[in-house]
Amino acid sequence: MAYAHYQKGESSIQQTEKELFHSITKSHELYHTLMLLLLELKSFGEKRIEFRKQKNRPSEEDLNPNTRFVDNAFLIQLADNTELIAYNQKNGNPWVDHPEVVKSIFEVVIESQMYADYMALETSDYEADNKFIAKLIEKVIAPYEGLYTKFEEESVYWNDEIEFIISMVVKTVKGFDPENGDAEKLLPEFKDEEDKDFVQNLMRKTLVNRKDHVELIRKFTKNWDFERVAFMDIVLMQIAITEITEFKNIPINVSLNEYIEIAKFYSTNKSGLFINGVLDKVVEHLIEEKVIAKPTKA
């Protein structure tokens, strides 16, 4: 959001703050939309099985189908998840008006080698079912261009967030525990009020201290043509410096690692290495100047 604030040039901090929280809400909506997509694929598979059984001359395969996918233990657990059910009841199913998209994604799934290998397994358990869904999202669903087209039509806020949100969905899937049953927790919009305050303060202090932080970045990029450095890299380093200098309870290495990871999603392929190199020098300087005095490691 700091990036958008600088690009617009006319927005006040208050306007940017409002936009920030709206974009977070839309990202949380995208997260649930992807979680619900998994259930839509399961439902589509079930309907497909029933349709084939009702054919005038069903084959042996139609009458005795392979139900491994629709009986996937993780998907069954997800279908009963109380938080996802509550979200669906409150906000409605975002896929109900897009059956053609669900169908096209389902066809991509069943045509994949990953799906064929999974369906051919002689036996399976919860761990295998869970790993299959996580990999399916990463390797088959996420690369499907039709999914991005649908999301672009739904919300302008989803375009830049989708890769990051997909990674959060995969993280959620991998973190499911069968012992938790329908009470498994999904990712909240904010962990708590303190988390929300952190986001707000981080943005405000980044914008307020922009001039000083940009000068600091310039100082340690003397061997680079500053004007040719990716603007997103500069913005990410500004935010990182704000977090390092303003939030005393966050170890320095935690902040550095976080922004290196963020750069992988929002900037260039080489940004992580570049940002790491510059911020290492910045941190060393700030420690020498006694601007910061906190643990370097968690």
Strand ranges in the chain using DSSP code E only, listed in sequence order: none
In whole angstroms, what is the distance from residue 25 CA to residue 86 CA?
16
Cα–Cα distance, 172 to 156 (Å, whole number): 24
The 10s digit of each residue's pLDDT in 200-211 is: 999 999 999 999
Q: Determine contact, residues 202/24, Cβ cutoff 8 Å.
A: no
Whole-number Å distance between alpha carbons of 217 and 290:
18
Would you say the C-alpha torsion 272, 278, 284, 290 has a positive or negative sign?
negative
Section 285-296 average pLDDT: 82
Q: How many CB atoms lie within 10 A of CB 281?
A: 14
Token output for 191: 């962990």
Using CB atoms within 10 A of its CB, is residue 11 exposed (0-12), middle (13-18) or buried (19+)? middle
Predicted local confidence at residue 252, as pLDDT: 92
Angle at 66 between CA 61 and CA 68, to 5 degrees: 175
Q: What's the pLDDT band for 3 if we cut at 50, 70, 90?
A: very low
CA 10 remoteness from chain centre? 29
- Pairwise pLDDT comparison (197 vs 225), residue with the higher score: 197
pLDDT at 225: 67
In the structure, what pLDDT confidence band is assigned to residue 156 with cuts at 50, 70 and 90?
Answer: confident
123-148 average pLDDT score: 95
* pLDDT bucket at 182, cuts 50 / 70 / 90: very high
pLDDT digits (tens, 9 = 90+) for 41-94: 999 999 999 999 988 898 888 898 999 999 999 999 999 999 999 999 999 999
What confidence score (pLDDT) does residue 1 get?
47
